[in-house]
């Protein structure tokens, strides 16, 4: 029997359970459906609401449809873009499998823009170059500026075609791991508040990122690090959490993304005097330098008083592109500028600032998307991860534009293939479920529901997001990170006493959103601890008190394990195959 008269949870049995229905989860589901593996896909949204759909600019693959290109060049750009923290075996797979991935998307029906000969059209993107850094190359395959939307729709369509079983609006609230083996997940059905246990031989997390831990972010409200935090709480380490990317061009004040595709098509950043200031920071690639460098350059301009009107934003200028290019190639983002800023990008510059965009770190995996339990490379049986919640690591210290869409698909597929292989090897046997697997999380939920008085969790979230922006954003120092550590301890204490108004069972979003704040606190804790320890600057992690990269001491990945009194940090080496670290200039 369970807590105070609650019925036991409904138990489902599946060979595989996928948590999250963005690109990574859907492609894995598709592989498993083709292979006849009984699979459930759980999502706290509807699949088509997943944040993959918000990706805009493109997906890179060295197709060479527009000019000469090679996977080796793509691999090099990825490694250099990631400031040499990239595991090069993973980057090689990413660049090589990109080609088949994009071709298969086309075969699935994805409506790419076309060249005059009817091939997939390609355009320039930040950090992607010809011949090891010579000049920008046309590598990004795209469908206007809604490439992610088309990928999400196309994969969902294929899942329908192949009869994938979805559990929409099932919010996963725990992962069951006992004796070092993953045994399933616990989900909260949003419609009626009932708990459902999914017993399974394979659990894949494809839960996306956690941009909501920052005040200004391009991320959806639902991106609260659920998968990372749930794994972390059950003893799984989180890798390289100190590397968080700020995208240069967010709409000022609200952070909605204006794709790098704008600069790929020729738009430029300008300061108060109208100067194209990237000429001073990245003389070769200019506005198409990697995002970490452009975001820092923007902050430097603002700090030195060259923001527009001396304020904290700059201009993205598309006015010289002309109406035709804008309407055909950038229709959505120009619409965002009209709706959310009230400016007409065909004739007026758009006000932009860097916006928190992408987590390079996450749940550590090997090249087959199997989750790693420690710094020695031991596996956690039955657990898989891919996409933004995972860290394989193809992005290292800074991700290149378009490589996230590629990552979710290449490693989502690899997760599906690994699961199929492991399920076959286990002859369809499911691991035993501990009695009352849902009781720990039920106790948490009922405690929250029954607390009569306490602070509103959303106030804690807003404070967290504001403090993280100031103390653990584009620039960090020991002082800001220590202040943030202290702040997190305080917020955690307050979080333990939150209360909610809504005591109901039906569609209780207040309860779930309060839980999400707890996930964000966990992700922030691991990020800040990693950032405080890492006394160097690399990629998106910029320590003003240690402004240089230090390969002697820090060419290594951080693994943060949950522990009393703050994370236990351990380290593992970076895999270097073809490209030795060099100074990173553009």
What six digits make up the tokens of 118?
A: 């009817």
For residues 351 and 313, the answer to whether their CB atoms sit within 8 Å is yes
What six digits make up the tokens of 247?
A: 């995208």
CA 393, 397, 402, 404 torsion-angle sign: positive
For residues 202 and 384, the answer to whether their CB atoms sit within 8 Å is yes
Is the Cβ of residue 99 or residue 430 nearer to another protein in the bound state? 99
Is the Cβ of residue 75 or residue 144 nearer to another protein in the bound state? 144
Pairing, β 10-19 against β 39-43: parallel
Q: Tell me the closest approach of the beta carbon of residue 315 to another protein, in angstroms.
A: 18
Is the Cβ of residue 36 or residue 342 nearer to another protein in the bound state? 342
- Give the phi and the psi of residue 496 in degrees, each rounded to 5: -65, -20
Is the Cβ of residue 504 or residue 547 nearer to another protein in the bound state? 504
Q: Tell me the closest approach of the beta carbon of residue 365 to another protein, in angstroms.
A: 26
Among residues 289, 268, 351, which one has the least CA distance to residue 315? Answer: 351
Pairing, β 195-205 against β 10-19: parallel
Q: Does the N-terminal peptide bond of residue 160 adopt cis geometry, omega within 30 degrees of 0?
A: no
Question: In the complex, which residues of this chain contact another protein (CB under 8 A)?
Answer: 45-46, 48-51, 53-54, 102-103, 106-109, 111-120, 143-144, 146, 149-150, 153-154, 157-158, 160-161, 191, 220-222, 256, 332, 336, 339-340, 342, 456, 458-459, 500-502, 504-510
3-state secondary structure 110-149: CCCCECCCCCECEEEEEEEEECCCCEEEEEEECCCCCHHH
Is the Cβ of residue 22 or residue 237 nearer to another protein in the bound state? 22
Q: Tell me the closest approach of the beta carbon of residue 394 to another protein, in angstroms.
A: 24
Is the Cβ of residue 515 or residue 543 nearer to another protein in the bound state? 515
Q: Tell me the closest approach of the beta carbon of residue 220 to another protein, in angstroms.
A: 4
Q: Tell me the closest approach of the beta carbon of residue 69 to another protein, in angstroms.
A: 14
Instruction: From the candidates 49, 124, 291, 515, give the one annotated as an active-site residue.
Output: 291
Q: Does residue 291 carry a catalytic annotation?
A: yes
- Give the phi and the psi of residue 401 in degrees, each rounded to 5: -55, 145
Residues with Cβ within 8 Å of 68's Cβ and at least 6 positions away in sequence, in order, are: 130
d(CA 33, CA 163): 7
- DSSP-based three-state secondary structure for 537: coil
Q: Tell me the closest approach of the beta carbon of residue 30 to another protein, in angstroms.
A: 11
Sequence-ordered strand ranges (E) for 320-406? 350-359, 363-364, 370-372, 379-385, 390-391
- Report the catalytic residues: 291
């Amino acid at each position: 029997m369970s807590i105070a008269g609650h019925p036991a949870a409904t138990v489902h049995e599946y060979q595989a359970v996928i948590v999250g229905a963005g690109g990574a989860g859907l492609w894995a589901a598709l592989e498993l459906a083709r292979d006849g593996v009984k699979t459930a896909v759980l999502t706290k949204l509807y699949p088509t609401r997943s944040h993959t759909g918000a990706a805009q600019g493109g997906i890179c693959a060295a197709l060479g449809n527009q000019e000469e290109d090679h996977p080796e060049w793509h691999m090099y750009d990825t490694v250099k873009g990631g400031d040499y923290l990239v595991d090069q075996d993973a980057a090689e797979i990413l660049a090589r499998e990109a080609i088949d991935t994009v071709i298969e998307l086309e075969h699935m029906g994805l409506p790419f823009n076309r060249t005059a000969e009817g091939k997939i059209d390609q355009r320039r993107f930040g950090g992607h170059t010809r011949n090891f850094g010579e000049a920008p190359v046309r590598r990004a395959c795209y469908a206007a500026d809604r490439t992610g939307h088309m990928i999400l729709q196309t994969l969902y369509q294929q899942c329908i075609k192949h009869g994938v079983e979805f559990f929409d609006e099932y919010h996963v609230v725990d992962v069951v791991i006992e004796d070092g083996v993953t045994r399933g997940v616990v989900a909260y059905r949003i419609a009626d508040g009932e708990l459902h246990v999914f017993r399974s031989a394979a659990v894949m997390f494809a839960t996306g990122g956690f941009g909501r831990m920052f005040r200004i972010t391009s991320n959806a409200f639902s991106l609260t690090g659920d998968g990372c935090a749930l794994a972390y709480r059950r003893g799984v380490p989180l890798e390289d959490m100190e590397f968080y990317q700020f995208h240069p061009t967010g709409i000022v004040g609200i952070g909605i993304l204006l794709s790098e595709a704008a600069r790929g098509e020729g738009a430029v950043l300008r300061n108060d005097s109208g100067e194209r200031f990237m000429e001073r920071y990245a003389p070769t690639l200019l506005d198409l330098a990697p995002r970490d460098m452009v975001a820092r350059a923007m902050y430097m301009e603002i700090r030195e008083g060259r923001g527009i009107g001396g304020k904290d934003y700059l201009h993205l200028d598309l006015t010289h592109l002309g109406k035709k290019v804008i309407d055909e190639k950038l229709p959505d983002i120009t619409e965002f500028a009209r709706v959310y800023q009230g400016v007409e990008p065909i004739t007026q510059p758009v006000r932009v600032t860097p916006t928190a965009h992408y987590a390079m770190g996450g749940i550590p995996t090997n090249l087959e998307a199997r989750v790693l339990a420690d710094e020695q490379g031991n596996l956690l049986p039955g657990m898989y991860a891919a996409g933004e919640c995972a860290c394989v690591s193809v992005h290292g210290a800074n991700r290149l534009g378009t490589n996230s869409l590629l990552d979710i698909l290449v490693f989502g597929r690899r997760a599906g293939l690994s699961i199929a292989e492991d399920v076959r090897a286990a002859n369809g046997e499911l691991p035993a479920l501990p009695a009352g697997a849902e009781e720990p999380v039920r106790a948490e939920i009922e405690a929250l529901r029954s607390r009569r008085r306490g602070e509103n969790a959303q106030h804690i979230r807003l404070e967290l997001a504001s403090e993280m922006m100031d103390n653990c954003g584009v620039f960090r120092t020991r002082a800001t990170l220590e202040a943030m550590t202290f702040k997190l301890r305080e917020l955690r204490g307050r979080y333990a006493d939150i209360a909610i108004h809504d005591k109901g069972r039906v569609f209780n979003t207040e309860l779930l959103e309060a839980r999400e704040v707890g996930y964000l606190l966990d992700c922030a804790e691991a990020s800040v601890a990693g950032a405080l320890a890492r006394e160097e600057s690399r990629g998106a992690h910029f320590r003003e008190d240690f402004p240089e990269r230090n390969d002697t001491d820090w060419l290594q990945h951080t693994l943060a394990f949950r522990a009393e009194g703050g994370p236990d940090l351990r380290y593992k080496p970076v895999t270097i195959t073809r490209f030795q670290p060099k100074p990173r200039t553009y």
